[in-house]
Amino acid sequence: MYRPRDTRMPLDEAQAVIDAHGFAVLLDERLRASHLPLVLARGEGELGSLYGHFARANPHWQALEGQRVLAIFQGPHAYVSPRWYAARPAVPTWNYVAVHASGIVEILGDDATQAAFDGLLAKYEPDLLDDAAILSDDYRQRLLRGTVGFRIRLDDLQGKAKLGLNRSPEDQAGVLAGLGDSADPLARQLGDYTQGYSERHLADDLGKGRLG
Using 50 as the pLDDT threshold, list the residues of the chain that sit under it: 206, 209-212
In the prediction, which pLDDT does 204 show?
66
Residue 198 to residues 64, 82, 106, Cα–Cα distance (Å): 39, 20, 37
Closest CA to 119 of 36, 16, 39: 39
Split into its structural domains, the chain has a count of 1
In the prediction, which pLDDT does 39 show?
98
Q: Is 31 left (phi over 0), alpha (psi -120 to 50) or beta?
A: left
Q: Summarize pLDDT for 142-200 with one digit per residue, the tens.
A: 999 999 999 999 999 999 999 999 999 999 999 999 999 999 999 999 999 999 999 98
CATH number at residue 190: 2.30.110.10
In the prediction, which pLDDT does 202 show?
74
Could you list the residue range(s) of the whole structural domain that residue 64 is in? Answer: 5-209
In the prediction, which pLDDT does 211 show?
43
